[in-house]
Amino acid sequence: MQAQRRLNRVPDDGVIRVARERRRGGTMSVVTGLRDDELLAVAAALKRCCGTGGTAKNGVVEIQGDHRTAIVAWFAQAGRKAKLAGG
Alpha carbon distance 22, 80 (integer Å): 26
User: Identity (one letter) of the amino acid at 86?
Assistant: G
Residue 86: per-residue pLDDT: 75
CA-closest candidate to residue 40, choices 50, 19, 55:
55
For the chain, what is the mean pLDDT?
A: 86
| pTM, 2 dp | 0.82
pLDDT per residue over 27-55, tens digit each?
999 999 998 899 999 999 999 999 999 99
Pairing status of strand 82-84 against strand 54-57: unpaired
Domain borders along the chain are: 2-84
- Out of 3.90.1720.10, 3.30.450.20, 3.30.780.10, 3.40.190.80, select the CATH number for domain 2-84: 3.30.780.10
